[in-house]
Every structure is written in structure tokens, then in C-alpha cells.
Amino acid sequence: MSRDFQRTEDGEAVVGRDQDGQVQLLVHLDPETVGELLKAHRFGQLENYVLQSC
């Protein structure tokens, strides 16, 4: 996992890659997404939220 794409048109994102460096998950850190991530975390549903985003 890494934070990438700072200062780009699409904005910052959390990126998950496999062992070969291929992107497997990309979650943009816009205000709506961050709010949903925090809400999911608060309710113990972060893993489910991330898996549904795939």
C-alpha cells in the first residue's frame, strides 16, 4: 500500500499493488471517500468497504 498521485489532476489516492507491482486497488482520497472510509472504520467495516470498492 502506498499514497500516490499527490498534486495531480485526479488527486491523491491509496494504491495497493500485488507482488509484481500491478495495481489491485486504488481509492481516491477525495472528501466523500475519506468520510466513507472513516465511517466504515468506526463501525468495524473497513475491510468490507475496501473489498466492495474493487
Segment 4-53, tens digit of pLDDT: 888 888 788 889 899 999 998 888 888 778 888 899 999 999 889 888 87
Could you tell me the residue range of the domain that residue 37 belongs to? 2-53
Total domains present in the chain: 1
List residues bridging with 16 in a β-sheet.
25
pTM of the model: 0.60
Q: Is 48 helix (H, G, I), strand (E, B) or coil?
A: helix
What is the Cα–Cα distance from 13 to 26, expressed in whole angstroms? 6
In the chain, what is the greatest distance between 2 CA atoms, to the nearest angstrom?
Answer: 33
Query: CA 22, 6, 9, 29 torsion: positive or negative?
Result: positive
